[in-house]
Copies of this chain bind each other. A is one copy, B any other.
Amino acid sequence: MISANDPFYQDVARQLEALILDRTLLPGSKIPSERQLAQRLSVSRPVVREALKELRGRGIIETQRGRGSFVSEMLPAASDQSPLRHLFRDHSRAVYDLLEVRELLEGQSAFYAALRLTPADRYRISKAYEAMDHSTSGEIDVNIEAKLDHNFHQAISEATHNPFLAYTLRSLSQLLLDSVITSVNNLYHRPEQRMMLSAQHHSIFVAIMDQKPDEARAAAVLHIQEIRKSLQAIEMENQRLERAGKWELIREKQ
């Protein structure tokens, strides 16, 4: 129960938060009283109070004198992007919806980057492209490649000189980076997809460097579309495998 390094109040806060986030404690529901929690968790009441204040500061509980503490009806962000994370986690088609928005924004991002390119942008995008290219031609480390891919796109979005566009894209693409869903990341394991991604990054890069906005947009849109198609192909393949697995099960029962 008690972590060796962290203060008790942080442990308690963490435990309570876990109960809330995994829906053991539902929004609106009452949290046990401070005295009860202190007794059950074998800590003093001030420790519980401090833990509850931390959760309150995070906005995930509300407390009222005389009534008790309750899980907030609306659970707000644990971080900036937590509403987005929530959407991503709970939504079975999330990755496709996300790609739909990204297609639009990445296309426009590439368009404006090509249009507004400064020497500093040129340098930054080149550096990011080279790092990614260098990584692509070497040994596969999916996490690093995904991150460098992300960095390349971010350099582009920053070259738009529209901070809202850059911020929005960063928020959305960060979801894929951080995701426990590895389907997108798994594209890097497949040689044909990996080469495709690499070629498309090259097309985007060249169009931006040559300052051809329409070509840059088209290349970026195609890039996301190809990712989507690849994911769909992988998904269908997984469904075929799954159906085959079910058939094997039924057959063994006869």
With contacts A54-B56, A97-B162 taken as known, whether A76 is within 8 angstroms of B76 at the C-beta atoms is no
Q: A164 contacts the other chain (Cβ, under 8 Å)?
A: yes
The listed residue with most B CB atoms (<10 A of its CB), out of A13, A164, A165, is A164
**With an 8 A cutoff between CB atoms, is A24 at the interface?**
no
Binds B, one of A83-91, A140-148, A204-212, A238-246: A83-91
- When each residue 39-59 of chain A gets 1 if its CB lies under 8 Å from chain B and 0 otherwise, what string results? 000000010011101111111
Is A87 touching B164 in the complex (CB atoms < 8 A)?
yes
Instruction: List the B side residues contacting A235 at CB < 8 Å.
Output: none
Interface positions, chain A 216-233, Cβ under 8 Å from B, are none
**For A57, A101, A162, which residue has the most chain B Cβ atoms within 10 angstroms?**
A57
Copies in the complex: 2
Of the candidates B50, B53, B77, B168, the one whose C-beta lies within 8 Å of that of A168 is B168
Known interface pairs A51-B53, A97-B163, A101-B168; 13 further A-B residue pairs with C-beta atoms within 8 A, sorted by A's residue number: A50-B50, A50-B53, A54-B54, A56-B57, A57-B58, A77-B80, A84-B167, A87-B167, A94-B163, A98-B164, A100-B165, A101-B105, A168-B168
